[in-house]
Amino acid sequence: MNEMTPPKTERTAALKGLGTARKRVEDARFTQGKGNYVDDIKLPGMLFGDFVRSPYAHARIKSIDAEKAKALPGVIAVLTAADLAPLKLHWMPTLAGDVQMVLADGKVLFQGQEVAFVVAENRYIAADAVELVEVDYEELPVLVDPFKAEAPDAPVLREDLAGKSEGAHGPRRHHNHIFTWEQGDRDATEKVLASADVVAEEMVYYHRTHPCPLETCGCVASMDKVNGKLTVWGTFQAPHAVRTVASLISGIAEHNIRIISPDIGGGFGNKVGVYPGYICSIVASIVTGVPVKWVEDRMENLMATAFARDYWMKGRISATKDGRITGLWCHVTADHGAFDACADPTKFPAGFFNICTGSYDIPVAYLAVDGVYTNKAPGGVAYRCSFRVTEAAYFIERMIEVLAIKLGMDAAELRAKNFIRKDQFPYHSALGWEYDSGDYHTAWDKALKAVDYEGLRKEQAQRLEDFKAGKTRRLIGIGLTHFTEIVGAGPVKNCDILGLGMFDSCEIRIHPTGSAIARLGTISQGQGHATTFAQILASEIGIPADDITVEEGDTDTAPYGLGTYGSRSTPVAGAATAMAGRKIRAKAQMIAAYLLEVHDDDVEWDVDRFAVKGAPERFKTMKEIAFAAYNQAIPGIEPGLEAVSYYDPPNMTYPFGAYICVMEIDVDTGEHEVRQFYALDDCGTRINPMIIEGQVHGGATEGYAIAMGQEMAYDDMGNVKNATLMDFFLPTAWETPHYTTDFTVTPSPHHPIGAKGVGESPNVGSVPAFSNAVHDAFRSFGLTQTHMPHDHWRIWRTAHELGLHG
């Protein structure tokens, strides 16, 4: 190395690669209000669409009279199912193998369902015209309770499925039944439970809620009749999948469809599915020959666009007297609403719920999930979690607590006693997963020590004594959680959506002056891909992250991929990025060897350059190599420096974490105060610690919302009770707790850089931590289970029912 060469550490730091708390490059535009969202798109002559929606949850449509609406100046068209039927677009396939009405065909099945689509010259005229469309409804009996939906004499919701005893996921046993999904060994599990020392049984409900991204869903469809090309800008979490599905549905050749996801203001699973608004906008643009914009409002988003959760989870868990878990049994009644529109991989109608054995070594287990139809909005998306993983984590973390109560054991000790040990990985779970890696005991011990767990329990016991002595009206709850996630869907051998394999991709072009552009099949909705993917690449190819542009979301330019949800971007597209980078480096090595006049094997990689082995002063930097790649004739090597990688992961990744919540509860008002929240995450190799921390803060805040107040509730008539932000709880800075973040690092053995994904861990882990804290506060008064959300009224009611109000 000559004097002019900066030391390795300096050159590494200059790259801002893996492990650097690099500031988010996206924020320069977001913090200035210069983002470019769907609603910012304005095209000449653009029309606006708006829906007439059903006020009834279940009704027959006797007639639709749109004459007054059509007569309103500025109204271009009013579409109904009758108009879409000749195109066979009045129904559409869902991602779960079901079909869904685009516009009400004969009846409506949930409040807020799309009945007619008004197209007008501006948004205001469209809204006025919506009010002029007269729909004559005949009310039908409403089903909002999934258990009543399966009664023999329950009203038939889906008349289109009459006589169909076979659904997309096997036999249907009732007219409102969708599927039964079974995993594990039923006989063996029941045998173990029947002869166990201790069995704890509980119904755990994970209520219906909603991802509620700040930007609602919408699109601008533009059919160019001259060149036959359809362009759709939309809030799509999976633009390439949308293109393929749009082509299959519409018959337009795929090369004539261009899907663009611009900046997206949060997705959280809400923007994975296909909604009637997209279809209607596209049809309207094809019919009118001008662009059509549709953007839903907040009420429409909450009441009609994909909900999340709504799982009734009945569990039985068995153990020996000294607390060794011997078996787990679970039955889920899954309320899917009016259409099965879950966005799960095809072979997993209940997502990856079979991760519900959690972090524990449970020898036998059995799981059955029954999906049913009700008069509620369709959806069932993964709200900031991998497919149904939050439900699974909540279930097992509640069951552990219930078992601890039954055993009279400390819940932290019970967990530690049953964790899968480090030496058991790769671990095959009783419900069929191969956990790639983990070190749960290390994380757990670190977490307990960090919060001084023993000290907290002593303080809690003292507080309890003071409470009983009448000195205080506040109780302390300590909420423990150790979660294991399963993310990074996924291996094409078992993961596809509508037949589209769930690989992902990255394409890199190095420019002659040594900067680069990388395009991926994923799409950021706030995750910071432009920042972190550049960091992965910087470390792989020695070009500073600041000199790498990351681009996603335009199907005409980006390589094919299945998009961003289920924490799959880093595990899948991140791996593709590293692999494409390695292809670049392999070619760079040959170029460097030629330039240095040595054999390929005689040069070695050194941060940002190739140097001759044993002679570090003889080197070629990536900048020099890039220039040579384009501008120097090198025998046997074609010009240019580009690479593409399509990555099919060999396995999922299994991030895990230990979360502890300390909560004070006022018995008389039902109010709570999160005194401390400690979140330890192990997401394998850490790409950008600052982004990880931000993700944990955001995910834990969403978890806080869900556990402590957020819900989509329905009354008996099927009215949505929380369709505005007045009633739907979104925490602001005022309510949001303070978080302490921590980590351990257990790299994924099969991922090229050992990363596992982190965006969704905090939602998965925090919900049970908050809920367990509430339960724990009342444990000594005999509470075993009360359902979320734990809003002030419900906490007050719990205290009241336990006789704490004297």
Give the residue ranges of DSSP H helices in 264-388: 276-288, 298-304
Residue number, 513 or 724, with CB nearest to other proteins: 724
Footprint (CB under 8 A) of other proteins, residues 161-220: none
Question: Can residue 720 be called a binding residue for other proteins (CB under 8 A)?
Answer: yes
**549: exposed, middle or buried (C-beta count within 10 Å: 0-12, 13-18, 19+)?**
middle
**In contact, 197 and 319? CB cutoff 8 Å:** yes
DSSP state of 470: T
Q: Which stretch binds other proteins (CB under 8 A): 9-17, 51-59, 418-426, 481-489?
A: 51-59
- Choice from 12, 49, 56, 796 touching other proteins (CB under 8 A): 56
Question: Can residue 297 be called a binding residue for other proteins (CB under 8 A)?
Answer: no
Residue whose C-alpha is closest to residue 355's, from 317, 382, 387: 387
Going residue by residue from 57 to 76, which x/- string records binding to other proteins, judged by CB under 8 A? Answer: x-------------------
Question: Can residue 77 be called a binding residue for other proteins (CB under 8 A)?
Answer: no
**Residue 123 CB, nearest approach to other proteins (Å):** 15
Q: Which stretch binds other proteins (CB under 8 A): 131-139, 641-649, 691-699, 740-748?
A: 131-139
172 as an active site residue: the answer is no
Residue number, 34 or 721, with CB nearest to other proteins: 721
Going residue by residue from 234 to 273, which x/- string records binding to other proteins, judged by CB under 8 A? Answer: ----------------------------------------
In degrees and rounded to multiples of 5, residue 418 shows phi and psi of: -115, 0
Find the Cα–Cα–Cα–Cα dihedral 653, 211, 712, 117, rounded to 10°: -130
Question: Can residue 111 be called a binding residue for other proteins (CB under 8 A)?
Answer: yes
Bridge-partner residues for 469, per DSSP?
A: none
**In contact, 308 and 184? CB cutoff 8 Å:** no
237 as an active site residue: the answer is yes
Footprint (CB under 8 A) of other proteins, residues 723-782: 723-724, 726-727
- Choice from 10, 65, 131, 322 touching other proteins (CB under 8 A): 131
Catalytic residue from among 215, 397, 711, 760: 760
Question: Can residue 155 be called a binding residue for other proteins (CB under 8 A)?
Answer: no
Question: What CA–CA distance (Å, rounded) separates 198 from 322?
Answer: 10
**Residue 433 CB, nearest approach to other proteins (Å):** 40
Catalytic residue from among 217, 385, 495, 506: 385
Residue number, 165 or 724, with CB nearest to other proteins: 724
Q: Which stretch binds other proteins (CB under 8 A): 15-23, 50-58, 739-747, 766-774?
A: 50-58
Give the residue ranges of DSSP H helices in 163-259: 186-194, 239-250
Residue number, 50 or 401, with CB nearest to other proteins: 50
Residue number, 575 or 723, with CB nearest to other proteins: 723
Question: What CA–CA distance (Å, rounded) separates 658 from 720?
Answer: 35
Question: Can residue 722 be called a binding residue for other proteins (CB under 8 A)?
Answer: yes
Length of the chain counted residue by residue = 806
Question: Can residue 53 be called a binding residue for other proteins (CB under 8 A)?
Answer: yes
Residue 86: how many other CB atoms lie within 10 Å: 8
Q: Which stretch binds other proteins (CB under 8 A): 27-35, 76-84, 130-138, 652-660?
A: 130-138
Residue number, 67 or 434, with CB nearest to other proteins: 67
Footprint (CB under 8 A) of other proteins, residues 455-484: none
Residue whose C-alpha is closest to residue 564's, from 278, 247, 269, 234: 269
Question: What CA–CA distance (Å, rounded) separates 476 from 687?
Answer: 37
- Choice from 287, 492, 717, 802 touching other proteins (CB under 8 A): 717
Distance (Å) of CA 148 to CA 37, 72, 142, 546: 42, 44, 10, 58
Residue number, 118 or 199, with CB nearest to other proteins: 118
Question: What CA–CA distance (Å, rounded) separates 609 from 197?
Answer: 64
Q: Which amino acid is at 140?
A: L
- Choice from 99, 168, 286, 299 touching other proteins (CB under 8 A): 299
**Residue 155 CB, nearest approach to other proteins (Å):** 17
Residue number, 288 or 719, with CB nearest to other proteins: 719
Question: Can residue 103 be called a binding residue for other proteins (CB under 8 A)?
Answer: no
**Residue 282 CB, nearest approach to other proteins (Å):** 24
Question: What CA–CA distance (Å, rounded) separates 135 from 551?
Answer: 46
Question: What CA–CA distance (Å, rounded) separates 357 from 359?
Answer: 7
**Residue 427 CB, nearest approach to other proteins (Å):** 47
Question: What CA–CA distance (Å, rounded) separates 231 from 181?
Answer: 38
Bridge-partner residues for 335, per DSSP?
A: 372
Tokens coding 750: 């099969």
Residue 569: half-sphere exposure toward Cβ, Cα within 13 Å: 28
**Residue 134 CB, nearest approach to other proteins (Å):** 7
Residue number, 30 or 124, with CB nearest to other proteins: 124
**Residue 110 CB, nearest approach to other proteins (Å):** 12
- Choice from 247, 256, 288, 719 touching other proteins (CB under 8 A): 719
Catalytic residue from among 384, 388, 398, 779: 384
Residue whose C-alpha is closest to residue 522's, from 496, 552, 492, 542: 552
Question: What CA–CA distance (Å, rounded) separates 606 from 6?
Answer: 12
Give the residue ranges of DSSP H helices in 20-175: 27-30, 67-71, 81-84, 123-132, 146-149
Cα angle 232, 279, 112 (rounded to 5 degrees) comes to 125
Catalytic residue from among 111, 183, 237, 710: 237
Question: Can residue 130 be called a binding residue for other proteins (CB under 8 A)?
Answer: yes
- Choice from 62, 173, 255, 721 touching other proteins (CB under 8 A): 721
Question: What CA–CA distance (Å, rounded) separates 113 from 105?
Answer: 11
Query: Residues touching other proteins: how many (CB under 8 A)?
Result: 23
Residue number, 294 or 647, with CB nearest to other proteins: 294
Question: What CA–CA distance (Å, rounded) separates 518 from 166?
Answer: 45
Helix (H) or strand (E) holding 448: helix 440-451
Residue number, 111 or 222, with CB nearest to other proteins: 111
Question: Can residue 367 be called a binding residue for other proteins (CB under 8 A)?
Answer: no
Question: Can residue 328 be called a binding residue for other proteins (CB under 8 A)?
Answer: no
Tokens coding 519: 């395009």
324 as an active site residue: the answer is no
Tokens coding 718: 């099927």
Handedness of CA 569, 209, 95, 47 (dihedral sign): negative
- Choice from 25, 38, 47, 52 touching other proteins (CB under 8 A): 52
**In contact, 260 and 291? CB cutoff 8 Å:** no
Catalytic site positions: 237, 384-385, 760
Q: Which residues bind other proteins (CB under 8 A)?
A: 52-53, 55-57, 111, 130-131, 133-134, 299, 303, 715, 717-724, 726-727
